[in-house]
């Protein structure tokens, strides 16, 4: 077993694919952490905008949070309807493909891909942010810690997340109960702890645009509420009921936390900024830097890591669906040894790593890019649901369509608000990236169409029948070796027309030596005298490949016959040995493969790195002469 498989585990049989069924509390752990953990950065995103008005601006945090909670209620209602309508899982891609057509589904897919990458980056950054808020001495290690956490999540996913939901329960519980307890304590015993900086009661005047800007920033707190509707098939029966219950519990918990954080922020006069997160400051104000503060900080880091993990379940699956529909490279649809979509996992990990390094692990720097993808997905899902109700017309479809219609309008407006207010700060990147992705989907699709045509997929191929032997060309070195012998031996078993080709060139300022080499070679060849033709190519340049390519092209053109090139190749075993062999065989192979249509064969001879003689062991009797 190699090192790689020690790390990610042995290959799994298809039958070993796990199918776990979950209840409400596991559902909360497995599917809603992305949404719940938004409290680690959402309220701060609003507060950062508000303090543009000075300290008193923070007064607006409560009404803004109430508005966000209103939108949350609408979303929870809407997604309960999605759960009703799509028991097999109603991702934005599936819903919009079914109801709105390919164009909209591409928009949804592009938005979701970007969203998954940003969720991972933000969750990891915020998770490490929670750590460095609690232990400021870790601050210089922010980026390495982010990458380390990302690496852990990536490897867990490459292994395949087995018994995930149950393992997630404990940290999730600790996070929910702990955070609610800390917030509650803050309301009951404020004066036991930090001094309170009273915020002026009267908030300053604020323009509607300013308030909308803060509202848009707060929309990041709602990311992830769609995940439960995507994962309905994971629930135990009755699936839809359990999924809806989970959605509602999520809504209530998230709303409580958002309002609680907003109220305490105002009560303690906490101001965002510096190296400590707003949530951490609120917690420290509520319970001091006590054991409770540190335990809940650790729990927040843990659940943010798990939230990143959720996206690792999402993007590879979505990419595999897109690949199956031929909008992404097929490799995204191939399961690895551990039955996971490895390619998708790698792409997600690398893209997130680049983002994390680019913003140096700063959560708030990622906020302006976030939420666009999510809210585009929300809007398309809702719109798709409206179309769904209008098409299917079940009992009470008008009410349902109205509800989803309201959802469409609200999330659509939020998306636009977000793009407009955050455009120069980073939203432009997403606005540029989405059309690029869609363009890519289409290009990939067209390419596969064309290749499919050339390959004649779906047609029965033309008949094949036995045909004359090809000319076999064997490039050899000017030193006769066992490898030369093997290659010619194999060549003679394939055809009676075998040509050995040797390229000779001179060393600069050393004419005699090269003439000597040529003479010695010819003498040895005559003594050996194998039943094949010998062609000597003299080269003025210091290159074997070019004369060989020219020779083979000429042969193909002249002979009007098939050509097979058989390359003798030393196969070093181990890194040490491979540095000691020139890679001429490989170079010739690559050049021929790129430039010609000839069939290329290699005759391998193994050379082990260490001193044991393994060529003997490796050879099968059938292969020896």
Residues 5-34 close enough to bind its own copies by CB under 8 A: 11-15, 17, 19
Site for its own copies in 429-488 (CB under 8 A): 444, 446-448, 450-451, 454-457, 460-470, 479-485, 488
Q: How far is the CB of 595 from its own copies (least distance, A)?
A: 8
> What does the per-residue mask of binding to its own copies show for 561-600, with x meaning CB under 8 A?
xxxx-x--xxx-x--xx-xxxxx---------xx-xxxxx
Other Cβ atoms closer than 10 A to 48: 17
In terms of CB distance, is 263 or 537 closer to its own copies?
537
Q: Sign of dihedral through CA atoms 576, 577, 580, 584? A: negative
In terms of CB distance, is 36 or 565 closer to its own copies?
565
- Among 80-88, 96-104, 387-395, 604-612, which window interacts with its own copies (CB under 8 A)? 604-612
Kindly tell me which residue out of 204, 238, 273, 496 binds its own copies, with binding defined by CB under 8 A: 496
Strand-pair partners of 501: 475, 535
> What does the per-residue mask of binding to its own copies show for 98-127, with x meaning CB under 8 A?
------------------------------
Task: Give the distance from CA 387 to its chain's centroid.
Answer: 31
Q: How far is the CB of 117 from its own copies (least distance, A)?
A: 18
Q: Which residues contact 145 (CB under 8 A, 6 or more apart)?
A: 128, 131, 132, 138, 361
DSSP letter, residue 201: S
Q: Which residues contact 254 (CB under 8 A, 6 or more apart)?
A: 35, 36, 38, 39, 72, 221, 225
Q: Rounded to the nearest 5°, which phi and psi values hold at 533?
A: -80, 145
Kindly tell me which residue out of 493, 516, 533, 550 binds its own copies, with binding defined by CB under 8 A: 493
In terms of CB distance, is 67 or 587 closer to its own copies?
587
Closest CA to 193 of 290, 286, 292: 286
In terms of CB distance, is 275 or 515 closer to its own copies?
515
Kindly tell me which residue out of 191, 432, 560, 575 binds its own copies, with binding defined by CB under 8 A: 560
The verdict on 94 binding its own copies (CB under 8 A) reads no
Q: How far is the CB of 176 from its own copies (least distance, A)?
A: 31
- Among 22-30, 252-260, 410-418, 502-510, which window interacts with its own copies (CB under 8 A)? 502-510
In terms of CB distance, is 354 or 402 closer to its own copies?
354
Q: Rounded to the nearest 5°, which phi and psi values hold at 590?
A: -60, -45
Size of the site for its own copies (CB under 8 A): 110
Kindly tell me which residue out of 530, 537, 551, 591 binds its own copies, with binding defined by CB under 8 A: 530
The verdict on 317 binding its own copies (CB under 8 A) reads no
Q: Is 506 exposed, middle or buried (0-12, 13-18, 19+ CB in 10 A)?
A: middle
Cα separation values, 280 from 96, 192, 305, Å: 39, 17, 17
29 and 172 in contact (C-beta within 8 Å)?
yes
The verdict on 321 binding its own copies (CB under 8 A) reads no
In terms of CB distance, is 395 or 594 closer to its own copies?
594
Q: How far is the CB of 559 from its own copies (least distance, A)?
A: 6
The verdict on 424 binding its own copies (CB under 8 A) reads no
Task: Give the distance from CA 47 to its chain's centroid.
Answer: 31
Site for its own copies in 509-528 (CB under 8 A): 509, 524, 527-528
75 and 255 in contact (C-beta within 8 Å)?
no
109 and 318 in contact (C-beta within 8 Å)?
yes
In terms of CB distance, is 359 or 474 closer to its own copies?
474
In terms of CB distance, is 207 or 617 closer to its own copies?
617
Cα separation values, 366 from 113, 353, 433, 585, 593, Å: 16, 13, 15, 49, 45
Other Cβ atoms closer than 10 A to 86: 22
Site for its own copies in 325-344 (CB under 8 A): 329-331, 334-337, 339
């Amino acid at each position: 077993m190699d090192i790689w498989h020690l790390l990610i585990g042995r290959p799994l049989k298809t039958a070993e694919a796990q199918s776990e069924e979950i209840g409400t509390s596991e559902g909360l752990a497995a599917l809603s952490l992305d949404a719940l953990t938004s409290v680690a950065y959402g309220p701060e995103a609003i507060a950062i905008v508000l303090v543009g008005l000075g300290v008193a601006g923070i007064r607006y945090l409560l009404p803004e949070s109430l508005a966000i909670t209103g939108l949350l209620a609408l979303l929870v209602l809407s997604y309960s309807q999605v759960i009703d309508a799509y028991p097999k899982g109603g991702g934005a891609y599936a819903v919009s493909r079914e109801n709105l057509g390919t164009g909209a589904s591409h928009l949804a897919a592009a938005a979701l891909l970007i969203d998954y990458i940003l969720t991972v980056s933000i969750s990891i950054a915020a998770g490490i942010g929670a750590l460095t808020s609690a232990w400021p001495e870790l601050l210089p290690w922010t980026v390495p810690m982010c990458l380390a956490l990302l690496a852990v999540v990536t490897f867990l996913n490459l292994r395949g997340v087995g018994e995930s939901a149950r393992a997630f329960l404990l940290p999730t519980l600790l996070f929910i109960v702990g955070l609610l307890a800390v917030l509650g304590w803050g309301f009951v015993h404020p004066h036991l702890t930090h001094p309170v900086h009273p915020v002026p009661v009267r908030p300053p005047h604020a323009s509607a645009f300013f308030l909308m800007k803060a509202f848009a920033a707060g929309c990041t707190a709602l990311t992830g509420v769609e995940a439960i509707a995507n994962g309905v098939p994971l629930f135990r029966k009755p699936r839809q009921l359990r999924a809806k219950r989970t959605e509602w519990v999520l809504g209530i918990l998230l709303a409580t936390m958002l309002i609680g954080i907003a109220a305490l922020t105002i009560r303690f006069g906490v101001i965002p900024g510096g190296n400590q997160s707003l949530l951490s400051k609120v917690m420290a104000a509520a319970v001091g830097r006590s054991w409770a503060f540190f335990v809940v900080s650790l729990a927040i880091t843990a659940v943010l890591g798990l939230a990143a993990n959720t996206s690792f379940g999402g993007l590879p699956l979505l990419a595999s669906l897109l690949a199956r529909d031929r909008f992404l490279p097929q490799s995204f649809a191939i399961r690895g040894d551990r039955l996971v979509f490895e390619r998708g996992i790698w792409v997600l990990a690398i893209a997130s790593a680049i983002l994390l390094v680019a913003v140096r692990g700063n959560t708030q720097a990622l906020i302006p890019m976030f939420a666009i993808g999510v809210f585009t997905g929300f809007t398309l899902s809702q719109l798709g649901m409206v179309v769904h109700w209008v098409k299917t017309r079940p009992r009470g479809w008008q009410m349902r369509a109205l509800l989803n219609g309201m959802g469409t309008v609200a999330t659509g407006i939020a998306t636009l608000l977000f793009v407009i207010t955050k455009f120069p700060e980073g939203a432009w990147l997403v606005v540029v990236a989405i059309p690029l992705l869609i363009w890519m989907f289409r290009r990939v699709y067209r390419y596969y169409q064309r290749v499919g045509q050339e390959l004649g997929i779906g047609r029965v191929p033309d008949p094949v029948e036995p045909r004359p032997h090809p000319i076999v060309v064997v490039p050899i070195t000017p030193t006769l070796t066992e490898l030369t012998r093997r290659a010619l031996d194999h060549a003679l078993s394939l055809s009676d027309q075998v040509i050995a080709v040797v390229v000779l060139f001179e060393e600069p300022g050393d004419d005699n030596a090269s003439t000597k080499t040529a003479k010695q070679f010819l003498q040895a060849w005559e003594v050996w005298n194998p039943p094949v033709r010998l062609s000597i190519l003299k080269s003025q340049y210091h290159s074997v490949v070019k004369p060989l390519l020219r020779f083979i092209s000429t042969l193909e053109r002249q002979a009007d016959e098939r050509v097979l090139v058989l390359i003798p190749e030393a196969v070093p075993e181990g890194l040490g040995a491979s540095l000691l062999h020139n890679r001429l065989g490989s170079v010739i192979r690559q050049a021929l493969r790129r430039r010609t249509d000839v069939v290329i064969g290699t005759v391998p001879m193994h050379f082990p790195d260490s001193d044991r003689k393994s060529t003997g062991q490796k050879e099968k009797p059938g292969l020896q002469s």
